[in-house]
Amino acid sequence: MKNKVVLITGANGEIGHGLIHYLSQTPETQIIALDIKPLEPQLLSLCEQYIQCDIRDNDRVSAIFQKYELDTIYHLASILSTSAERIPETAHYINVDGTIELLKLANQQTARTNRAICFLYPSSIAVYGLPCTDTKRQSGKVREEDWCCPTTMYGCNKLYCEQLGRYYASHYQQLAEAAQEVRLDFRGLRYPGLISAFTVPSGGTSDYGPEMLHAAARGEPYHCFVRPDTRLPFMAMPDAIKALVNLAAAPAETLTRQVYNVTSFSPSALEFQRKVLHHFHEARIDFQPDIPRQSIVDTWPADIDDSAARTDWGWQPDYDFDRAFDEYLIPNIRERYTEPV
Ligand SMILES: NC(=O)c1ccc[n+]([C@@H]2O[C@H](COP(=O)([O-])OP(=O)(O)OC[C@H]3O[C@@H](n4cnc5c(N)ncnc54)[C@H](O)[C@@H]3O)[C@@H](O)[C@H]2O)c1
């Protein structure tokens, strides 16, 4: 019997793919999916309903709340960092206006039913803004409170939406005569760059990692847009899904904060290239840094401190750098690109 209703926005994206597959294995979960693009047919059959619309279409989005009493929202719809830098105002309207409308509706349902909706928000290491590469080298594992000074529209959007979530969960209408009895349960994750075997990213600034791997598997040359010594944190997609659903399942009383860093491994771009070459000997990968994108990556930390997530809700990635390649990425990517067309 289905008794848990979950809304996934941005359902056709990289995380959406993995999340729909994962949640559809729990028979009690009813998945309502939303994306501006058509949902891939293989995902459609796993969802109770699919709504193709813009997250800013208030009529269509409020109709979901009229039809269903939602338990959990995974709000994935977003314009990613590189794309957002090309259309900053539009990115703001989608990333921020889209989020506040959803928070408002989720909070209205919470107030009406006296049952807190769990609102999961994937934030990003883009909220950080380190001033120079020396500071980046010296900073080690950056904590949630440090260097929250983003230089991109996407980073600004993410940081502000985290604050909006905190506001709705803790302070919404604090001057009203009667305080809302039950508040929205907002939980955020700051992801590093994600690498999936099944989808290819687009529009992100950590995309060089997954892009060089998928290009090698397709037998295509790849020009890496950052310097070989560039270091960023990354995570394999199954761990990204695990982090999201484990945070959603964590008892509220164990949580000491509303937004958590999570990470797995931090290779340099050169180490990434060598790892890809180890598995695909013929790969043609060179380095042709794109200065503006390099400058953005230089402001993001080389590593982040996820000890709060480990302590509060038992976060532990399953895949380190070697295992991610050996057991998840390489076998699945080889299969993907050798499939008959
Ligand atoms: N992939 C990563 O490396 C990474 C890292 C950190 C955070 N995140 C965050 O995780 C979330 C999901 O990321 P992803 O990797 O699946 O990204 P993605 O780009 O693959 O998916 C985003 C989805 O949002 C949809 N979308 C865009 N604009 C929309 C709109 N106006 N209305 C409705 N849908 C819209 C897109 O069609 C797309 O399917 C995003 O919020 C992203 O910022 C991703």
For the chain, domain boundaries = 78-338
- Work out which ligand 1 atom sits closest to the CA atom of 158: 43
Residues 6+ apart with CB under 8 A from 44: 50
Whether the CB of 107 sits within 6 Å of ligand 1: no
Rg of the chain's alpha carbons, rounded to an integer?
Answer: 20
Give the type of residue at 198. Answer: F
Residue range 97-147, pLDDT digits in tens: 999 999 999 999 999 999 999 999 999 999 999 999 999 999 999 999 999
Phi and psi at 251, nearest 5°, equal -60, 135
**3-class DSSP state for residue 164?**
helix
pTM of the model: 0.97
- Work out which ligand 1 atom sits closest to the CA atom of 98: 31
- Report the C-alpha gap between 60 and 74 in whole angstroms: 17
Q: Which helix (H) or strand (E) element contains residue 133?
A: helix 133-139
Tell me the CATH architecture of domain 78-338: 3-Layer(aba) Sandwich (3.40)
- Report the C-alpha gap between 32 and 67 in whole angstroms: 11
Closest CA to 17 of 244, 291, 281: 244
CA of 216 to the centre of ligand 1 (A): 24
Residue range 246-261, pLDDT digits in tens: 999 999 999 999 999 9
- Report the C-alpha gap between 150 and 163 in whole angstroms: 14
Residue range 66-107, pLDDT digits in tens: 999 999 999 999 999 999 999 999 999 999 999 999 999 999
- Report the C-alpha gap between 246 and 240 in whole angstroms: 10
Which of 55, 64, 78, 159 should be mutated for ligand 1, with most atoms under 8 A from CB? Answer: 78
Closest CA to 118 of 59, 173, 189: 189
- Report the C-alpha gap between 92 and 135 in whole angstroms: 28
